[in-house]
Structure 1
Amino acid sequence: MAFLEIENLHKTFGSNTALHRFDMQIEHGEFITFLGPSGCGKTTVLRMVAGFEAPTRGVIRIDGRDVTHLRTRQRNVGMVFQSYALFPNMTVADNIGFGLRIAHHAPHEIRKRVDEMLELIKLPSLGDRYPWQLSGGQQQRVALARALATKPQVLLLDEPLSALDAKIRISLRQDIRALQRELGITSIFVTHDQEEALSISDRIAVMNEGRIEQVGTPLEIYNFPRTRFVASFVGTLNILSGHIVDPATGRMAVDGQELTTTQSLAPDDAGKQRLLALRPEAIVLEAPAIGRNTLRATVEEVSFLGAVVRIRTRVQDAVISLDVFNDPNRVLPERGQPVALGFSHDNLLVLEEGA
């Protein structure tokens, strides 16, 4: 039995359905990210786990206990908000100890726990300051310490880094992950930022229009997307249209050119038109080679992006981009030049039908 179980969760607001049959099993100590665009339902799920919203139907269990209809204070969860939500009239120490005071802990226990939290977030000397005297990154550390001070069973993080600048975001997300591992606390992190999700998650649930499109490790989500939405939302992707020639051998045809995939195909897929996915970094400019896929294309644009040069090519109706490292000694192709695009059979992905 999983530590946090979310079963058949459904949520409607009037005539609008925000969540459709959401199911998730989360193990103890796991760091799960809900990833998706605004309005996909990820924060709605988080708020229902926290007890801020009641599901229209479905069940939420924490460590085997049904908490679906319990109040937030009865669930033993910690929440970190996007806007920090610190009390401006309280010091850092008082903010961190707020939940402990509400729970009627003894003053000496509160002081001890607050000191522990200040050490944990690497702000041991700032307990007497007020939130307005701190940077955004420091305020979010305090918000994290406040959520952890009560020793919650589950930590919920609702886009906690979105108000910070890029450099601080990278540093703080690494700190959050390190703290989560150190404490071994089961955590759900909500974000629309794919880089954040890929860099810190044990598993990612990619959401779209109130549904889970795919759940998997960061490597699985990025390298083996099952649907067009997942493939397009996570990373840059080339989408091709082709038809299946021989499912048994993985032979496909795109614009009259034969390609091969190692992906398993159903016998009755023969002749079907399917969408194919190919990452830019999987493609190289090379002459046709045995054991490799090759597509003949024409260069449309060459864009210098610093460490990477992006080359945009065209194969009939499809635009295919590839990335090469910037090398001053590399001879880049010119616009209008015919080229051969090479990639392995493993890198050609066949997306689910209707995806």
Structure 2
Amino acid sequence: MAFLDISAVRKVYGQNVVVQDFNLAVERGEFVSFLGPSGCGKTTTLRMVAGFEQPTAGTIRIGGKDVTYLPPNQRNIGMVFQAYALFPNMTVADNIGFGLKVAKKPAAEIGPRVKEMLELIKLPHLADRYPYQLSGGQQQRVALARAIANKPQVLLLDEPLSALDAKIRVSLREEIRALQKALGITTIFVTHDQEEALSMSDRIVVMSEGRMEQVGNPFDIYNYPKTRFVAGFVGTLNTLKARVLDPGAGKLSIDGQEAVTSRPLNGSPADSIRTVALRPEAVALGERVNGGNGLSGTIEEVGFLGSVVRIKVRLGENAISLDTFNSSSVTPPKRGDTVSIAFTRDDLLVLEDNDAH
């Protein structure tokens, strides 16, 4: 049995379905991210796990115990909010020890635990400071220490890094992940930042309009998106219209040029239109190799992005962007040049939610 089990959970406000048919089994010690744009239902789902919202339907179990309708203080969860939510009139040490005092832990236990937490977040020298005397990154570390001081069964993080600048975000996400691994806390992390989710998670739940679009590890979510939404939301993507030539052989026509997928196109009759996708980094300039795919087109744009050169090749109705490393010894092609591009059969993804016409 999963340590955290969210089964058939649904949340409705009036006529508005915010979360629908959410099913997820999280193992003990696993780090799972809910990833999606604003309004997709990820924070509402987190708040139902925390007990701040009650599901319209479904059940939530932690450690085998049904907590669906229990208040937050009876769930043994730790919560870190986007806005830190530190008490401004309390010192760092008092903020960290607040939950322990509420739980009526003896002073002889609170002191050492607070000290341990301060060491863990590397801020023992700031124990007597107040929140206004701390940087944003330091405040978030204190909020994290407060959330884990009570040894929660599940740690919930609601976009905890979104208010920080880019450099601190990268540093703090590494610290959070290292801390989570060291303590082995089952963790749910809500974010709209794909890089955060990809770099931190054991698994990712991609959400859109209250639905679970796809669940998988970061490698599979990025390399094998199942729907057009996932493919477009996670990373940069080329989406193309292709006509099916031979479903059994996986053969397609892209602007009159043949390409082959690594799998049969089951359920797609000949002459039907499918949406296919390619990551820019999966495409290379040059002729096809080892039975891969090759197409020809005209250079439409060349853009310099520092270490990377992004080249857009027009095939006809479709265009493909590809990335190459910038090198002073290699002259990039010019607009109007005719070029060949190559990619493997595995890199040509056929998306499930086909709405091409």
Into which bin does the TM-score normalised by the smaller protein fall? Answer: over 0.9
Moved more, 86-95 or 329-338: 329-338
Aligned to 1:47: 47
Aligned to 1:126: 126
Aligned AA for 1:296? S
Aligned to 1:69: 69
Aligned AA for 2:52? F
State how 1:82-97 maps to structure 2 within 5 Å. Answer: 82-97=82-97
| Residues 258-313 of structure 1 deviation map (CA, whole Å, 9 limit, x = unaligned) | 00110343165433211000000001110244512011111111001101000012
Q: Is the 8 A contact 1:96 1:146 kept in 2?
A: yes
Deviation, 1:247, is: 2.3
State how 1:1-355 maps to structure 2 within 5 Å. Answer: 1-266=1-266, 269-354=269-354
| Residues 6-47 of structure 1 deviation map (CA, whole Å, 9 limit, x = unaligned) | 011111112211111111110000000000000000000000
TM-score, L = length of structure 1:
0.98
Q: Is the 8 A contact 2:288 2:343 kept in 1?
A: no
- Secondary structure of 2:118's counterpart equals helix
Deviation, 1:354, is: 3.0
Q: Is the 8 A contact 2:227 2:352 kept in 1?
A: yes
Q: Is the 8 A contact 1:309 1:324 kept in 2?
A: yes
Q: Which runs of 4+ in 1 moved over 4 A?
A: none
Stretches of structure 1 that go unaligned for 5 or more consecutive residues are none
Q: State the alpha-carbon separation in 1 of the partners of residues 288 and 23 from structure 2.
A: 46
Aligned AA for 1:187? T
Q: Is the 8 A contact 1:274 1:353 kept in 2?
A: no
Q: Is the 8 A contact 2:255 2:318 kept in 1?
A: no
Alignment size in residue pairs: 355
| Residues 119-169 of structure 1 deviation map (CA, whole Å, 9 limit, x = unaligned) | 110111111110111110000000000000000000000000000000000
Moved more, 77-86 or 264-273: 264-273
Q: State the alpha-carbon separation in 1 of the partners of residues 288 and 121 from structure 2.
A: 55
Q: Is the 8 A contact 2:243 2:253 kept in 1?
A: yes
TM-score, L = length of structure 2:
0.98
- Secondary structure of 1:354's counterpart equals coil
Q: State the alpha-carbon separation in 2 of the partners of residues 267 and 95 from structure 1.
A: 58
Q: State the alpha-carbon separation in 1 of the partners of residues 23 and 170 from structure 2.
A: 30
Aligned AA for 1:104? K
- Secondary structure of 1:89's counterpart equals coil
Stretches of structure 2 that go unaligned for 5 or more consecutive residues are none
Moved more, 240-249 or 251-260: 240-249
Q: Is the 8 A contact 1:248 1:267 kept in 2?
A: no
Q: State the alpha-carbon separation in 2 of the partners of residues 45 and 89 from structure 1.
A: 31
Q: State the alpha-carbon separation in 1 of the partners of residues 233 and 20 from structure 2.
A: 20
